[in-house]
Amino acid sequence: MKVTDYIKNANETLFSFEIIPPLKGKGIENLYEGIDPLMEFNPPFINVTYHREEFIYKNMGDGLLKKISIKKRPGTVGICAAIMHKYKVDAIPHLICGGFNLEDTENALIDLQFLGVDNILALRGDPIKSESVFTPSSGGHHYASELIGQISKMNEGKYLDDERQNAPTNFCIGAAGYPEKHFEAMNLNSDMKHLKEKVDAGAEFIVTQMFYDNAKYFDFVDKCRTVGIDVPIIPGLKPITTLKHTTFLPKFFHIDLPETLSNELEKCKTNADVRKVGIEWGIEQAKELKSKGAPVLHFYTMNKSTAVKEIASAVF
């Protein structure tokens, strides 16, 4: 079932969350341990991220270098199949530009169609660690809007280098939105222009980057509506639970923490202190978003469910 249909048919705000495929060598039971405690909140769908393979070059002597994979996560497609089979909910795979050429993308979409996946979250993806800026694969997409365009064409039965009328896919396409703007955008208005391009290319719903100031989400929604973006906008949330989060999240995700929240976090001496503040803030943030009609509250769990469960228990 499509995300847009879930939202249209819902009488109240829905609950959903995102998981990360386990690192190489870890089994799927690690994922289930993070999913099981959250199923009581009846998520209609679960997002599954995609991560590019990363390499290092090991000096083998005599001027020879050996390319070694240091980060490889199990296939997103297989994990989606496992989730759909075990939990009987829709899985939403992330599909990214990096690491794919156009044929790779088409083949991935064909596999997902065969699997019965109805929704795709289409993203450009981040640069790998060895890149200072995002570099597309040879023959791949530079921007998420281009990826969305390819999916939209397949929804019309238009495949690569094939003049025949093929069986159309029927994916509901999601895109990412940034209430505090994408870090590469010149300003929020230019970022809004790029988001409109994604919607015009075929995106039917938006999932936002995490944020901690609800006013920024509401302002973002208003700006979207002003420029003609009328698709559902799902707020993305993540509880702050460790001292590391207080510096890592602003730095890595290019977001600000509200002064009221940062003042409380600065008083914290331990992870337990931070967790208490973060959960209390998350509960109030989620309650306000729900009361003002957010279509879905979407949580970034990082495969750790306890804090999200505490928030959801207080809100749903």
Active site residues: 18
Strand 64-71 to 54-61 pairing: antiparallel
Cβ burial, residue 259 (10 Å; 0-12/13-18/19+) = exposed
- Say how far apart CA 124 and CA 140 lie, in whole Å: 10
What secondary structure does DSSP assign to 4-70, as a single string? HHHHHH-SS-EEEEEE-PPPTT--THHHHHHHGGGGGG--SEEEE-----EEEEEEEETTEEEEEEE
* Residue 91: closest CA among 76, 79, 78, 80: 80
Integer angstrom CA distances of residue 114 from 14, 80, 150: 27, 12, 18
Residue 265, Cβ neighbours under 10 Å: how many?
18
Pair of tokens at residue 168: 């159309």
3-state class of 176 per DSSP?
strand
